[in-house]
Structure 1
Amino acid sequence: MNSDNPAPIVLAPKPSLTYRLVSNLLVFPVFRGLFRGSTEGNERVPAQGPLVVVANHGSHLDPPLLGHALGRPVAFMAKAELFEVPLLGPLIRACGAYPVRRGASDREAIRTATARLQEGWATGVFLDGTRQPDGRVNQPLAGAALLSARSGAPLLPVAIVNSHRALGTGRTWPRLVPIQLRIGDLVPPPTGRRRADLDATTAELQRRINALLDQAGPRP
């Protein structure tokens, strides 16, 4: 490789008009107003280039809150059926969501997410894969580490504090408790794609996110 010709930096996609409207007119007042939301560590978020955003998962509030609080669009997987719903389909697509077919293999989902990273997106991954009643990282999966290893994108651990108490599993109506997002330091990609490498990075992400959750913070 010629060191005089470094690889170009992949710029992050510019937020669409729909994304800006949803973020500013819907997510902002809900997060900042109703839930007295706050963020900590925004200076750690790279402004450009591919990024794997890794977080705990406590409620359905988490995807829009992450995209709003990080200051750049974050793409998430969504069931393909949702893209066929009038109004909802175009809306979530404009906000960076990408479809995954019901029954699709994990390999296909990884390929789709990797393509998003190559386009310069920040791609969001919930480390447990599903919502956790206690809002912590309990049984982390290696998908985020594999995405990072395949794409070379760094990993950004984010702790979402109190969303499981606001609208967690089993709740129909939200509780208006303070929600805070705490952004940690970047984690480099795994050293390889071997299972041991992926598991080591996954365990480190779990440790960092749970440590961020354990910091003293807002609780009514």
Structure 2
Amino acid sequence: RPVAFMAKEELFKVPILKQAIALYGAYPVKRESADRSAIRSALQYLENGWATGVFLQGTRTVDGRITDPKLGAALIAAKAKAPLLPVSLWGTHAIASKDSALPRAVPLTVRIGNLIAAPTSSERSELEALTQRCAQEINAMHDLGR
């Protein structure tokens, strides 16, 4: 099943990169606010049979763990009545280097967890609880290391 990923809007300002990532189903998101157009894009991809990849943290962290998860994935799941699938990407923290403007090829470990049922409402408390559960499951998989 193809997966469409939210990607920071700055990536879509680089002409060649914009075309490349759009071909793979990426769509822009404004990370500093609740981006309704990104939510609509995610829902449209889901309606068209795609999965939607949303990074709970919104960016990479130094150690790869989720420390400040955002509610976007749970909100999309609530609106689409779709379950969440926790996925851990171990090793992404090493892709970017302060020494180079270009990303490095590094080995990654991908772990896929169990489905988490869709939220029954869009109430903030339920979305927060579901987001925390998803983050805990991803961090538990991440803690397994390579």
Q: TM-score if structure 2 supplies the norm length?
A: 0.83
> Aligned pair count?
144
2:79 to 121, 136, 150: 150
2:20 to 91, 99, 102: 91
The verdict on how the C-alpha distance between 1:200 and 1:105 changes in structure 2, with shifts beyond 3 A counting, is: closer
Asked whether the 8 Å contact 2:39–2:76 carries over to 1, the reply is yes
The verdict on how the C-alpha distance between 1:169 and 1:199 changes in structure 2, with shifts beyond 3 A counting, is: farther
In the alignment, does 2:128 pair up with 1:170?
no
Asked whether the 8 Å contact 1:132–1:169 carries over to 2, the reply is no
Deviation string, structure 1 residues 96-152 (Cα, Å, up to 9, x no partner): 112457988522221221111111111110101122111100000110000000001
Please report how far the alpha carbon of residue 84 of structure 1 lies from its aligned counterpart in structure 2 after TM superposition. 6.8
**Alignment of structure 1 residues 82-161 onto 2, 5 Å:** 82=12, 85=15, 87-100=16-29, 106-161=35-90
**Alignment of structure 1 residues 35-114 onto 2, 5 Å:** 72-78=1-7, 79=9, 82=12, 85=15, 87-100=16-29, 106-114=35-43
The verdict on how the C-alpha distance between 1:168 and 1:143 changes in structure 2, with shifts beyond 3 A counting, is: same
CA RMSD, 1 decimal: 2.6
Letter paired with 2:112: I
Letter paired with 1:205: C
Asked whether the 8 Å contact 1:131–1:169 carries over to 2, the reply is no
Instruction: Determine the C-alpha separation between the residues in 2 that align with 1:187 and 1:110.
Output: 20
SS at match of 1:182: strand
Report the structure number with the largest CA radius of gyration: 1
In structure 2, list runs of 5 or more residues that go unmatched: none
